[in-house]
Amino acid sequence: MSFQADCIFCQILQGEREASFVYRDETVTAFMDLFPVVPGHVLVIPNDHQQDFSRVEPEQAGQMFQLGREIGSALHRSGMSVEGISYFLAEGEAAGQVVPHAHLHIIPRHAGDDCGLQLHKGIPERAERGVLDRRAAALREALKPDAIF
């Protein structure tokens, strides 16, 4: 496992900092957020240090989301008040990542909880099909060559 000494999540994994663990295995770990947006806010992290989610090994990334889905389901069964769940992952400061260790937020939601992710301010302008097609082509080119379209 790779750890980074100055990473708070790595310090939690190494037992150097306290955490309220929800789940832990050899690949991924989940614990309660110390600064929850709302009660019940959980973080899922890879046990190997990677700052960017796009660099997390594919199997480990899948396990993060599988565990996130299971925790979301458990939140509904837990007796905590939950009307909905937001799953949030940010990569990079510009996207809102605060701790430089990839992590998935599982956030219980309630109507009017004053927590949210706003993708657009107002009504977004509709993109032109030609622009979308060019961007899709650029992404296809950057993906694995064996992708089927």
33-54 pLDDT, tens digit each: 999 988 999 999 999 999 999 9
59-100 pLDDT, tens digit each: 999 999 999 999 999 999 998 889 999 999 999 999 989 999
Q: How far apart are the first and last CA of the chain?
A: 37
d(CA 15, CA 142): 40
DSSP code for 46: E
Strand stretches in 16-103, DSSP E: 21-24, 28-32, 42-46, 84-88
Known catalytic residues?
Answer: 103
Per the structure block, which two tokens stand in for 102?
């990839």
Instruction: Give 144's pLDDT tier (boundaries 50, 70, 90).
Output: low
